[in-house]
Amino acid sequence: MKRLALALATGAAAALVLAGCSAPGSVSSSSGGTIKIAYQKFGNFTQMDTQMKDVAKQFEAQNKGVKVQLVPIQAAENDYYTKLALMNKAAATAPDVLYEDTFLIKADAEAGYLEPLDSYVAKWSDWKQFPDNARQAGQGDDGKIYGVSLGTDTRGLWYNKTLLQKAGIPVPWQPKTWADVLDAAKKIKAAEPGVIPLNVYSGKPQGEASTMQGFEMLLYGTADQLTDSDGKWVSGSKGFTDALQFVQTVYQDKLGPTPQQALDVNVGTEISGQWIPQGKLAIDLDGSWQSQNWISSGAAPWKDWETTMGWTAMPTQNGQAPGKVSMSGGWTLALGSKSKNKEAAWNFIKLALNKENSLKFDILDTQIPVRTDVASDPKYTSSNPTNAFFSSLVPVTHFRPATSDYPKVSNAIQVAMESVMTGQQSPQQAAKAYDDALKQAVGAKNVVTK
């Protein structure tokens, strides 16, 4: 996916992927029946469930005769993707509206699961609210629009100021290189043996958390990326091996969770709900949404989080320009191709993503909004002390390659990470195994070797 920095620079605030809206007043459907809304509900991430229940009530009140069947899927990220794909295979189980990760848009559009939205957005007056780059987040390989996002995110380092100070590390903490991050972790380990110094997500159970906010936060801080300027997949890069070396150091030098802890599918919930609030984890490489768990309406309310926690950018490998790095993604609402009531499904999407509902969700989910009217709304800008910082990372952020092959590549990265974190392979061996898997996943003609 292309950078959105240029589009966001023209906005009133940092907004990236998509959101949506509808005109004031009710939305209507020409026919009755039931529409099914499938979305993820897992661990501490309950905001989507709250949002969908609220929107369903609004929709049914405005659309007499149309019922909303909510289908919350209790599953971690990878399992959610699998269950959603299984639902989409048959018309009887396929949802009308899908909560869809942006990185799956191209693959699921190619598989025929999603309905093109071009004819709908063409009549949608609020579509002009979104920059061109933002609209591209929901595009398929054919250039058609298949998804409209609720917001986006960035990533950085969350740290416990008290724990760092006890280890002799001055705060506010602003590491300049990878070495600075690892040195801080080593000081914490020496000063506080009962504390986990640093968390970097790794391994297959964490899915995209491992790939995106673990590995790619490292790789994109080197001189290398997953693809080159021509869109070819890169093998044999030094940056890839260096990123795996960082992961190995964290886990094999006992600077992070144990491999057993890290490979627990529920570790993300443990981190945000227990380890951080209870002072068991000092530094966490994680997303801008992390504080959603600690606000009064969150899954793990923590009144002292604003004074206890600090946040800073993840540095590039050696401090080279631009000095810091972030990754961004986002989730969309998409229309299922097998829906028997596409008009009602689209109207639900518009209602869910109007200004009022988008503002509510972006605040509760600590998302970086897309709509310019939400991004500049004082209710949003003043809602969380981290909003300005994480929005400021937009100019240095990156996006996963938006191709239908990416899910297979992501899986190969997770395998490589897991092999080095558990000590089964050296970074060099794991990188070589990834290179071999890459050619099988995308075809040798689509790979360039550095």
* Residue 128 confidence (pLDDT): 78
Tens digits of per-residue pLDDT, 324-382?
A: 999 998 889 999 999 999 999 999 999 999 999 999 999 888 888 887 888 889 999 89
Listing DSSP states for 324-337 in one string gives EEEEE-EEEEEEBT
For residues 73 and 8, what is the distance between their CA atoms, to the nearest angstrom?
33
Tens digits of per-residue pLDDT, 217-262?
A: 999 999 999 999 999 999 999 999 999 999 999 999 999 999 999 9
* Residue 372 confidence (pLDDT): 80
- For the whole model, what pTM was predicted? 0.81
* Residue 266 confidence (pLDDT): 92
For residues 239 and 178, what is the distance between their CA atoms, to the nearest angstrom?
13
Q: Which residues of the chain have pLDDT under 50?
A: 1-31
Domains annotated for the chain, with CATH where assigned, are 5-153+329-392 (3.40.190.10), 155-327 (3.40.190.10)
Helix (H, G, I), strand (E, B) or coil at 296: coil
* Residue 131 confidence (pLDDT): 61
Token readout for 261 is 């802890």
Residue type at position 179: A
* Residue 159 confidence (pLDDT): 98
* Residue 32 confidence (pLDDT): 65
* Residue 317 confidence (pLDDT): 98
Phi and psi of 302, rounded to 5°? -145, 105
Could you tell me how far CA 281 lies from the centroid of its own chain? Answer: 21
* Residue 327 confidence (pLDDT): 95
Helix (H, G, I), strand (E, B) or coil at 116: coil
* Residue 365 confidence (pLDDT): 84
For residues 339 and 323, what is the distance between their CA atoms, to the nearest angstrom?
47
* Residue 152 confidence (pLDDT): 87
Listing DSSP states for 353-419 in one string gives TSHHHHHHHHHHTT-B--SHHHHT-HHHHTS-TTHHHHHHTGGGEEE---STTHHHHHHHHHHHHHH
* Residue 4 confidence (pLDDT): 38
Residues 257-293 as b or e (16 or more Cβ within 10 Å = b): bebeebbbbebbbbbbbebbbeebbbbbbbbbbbbbb
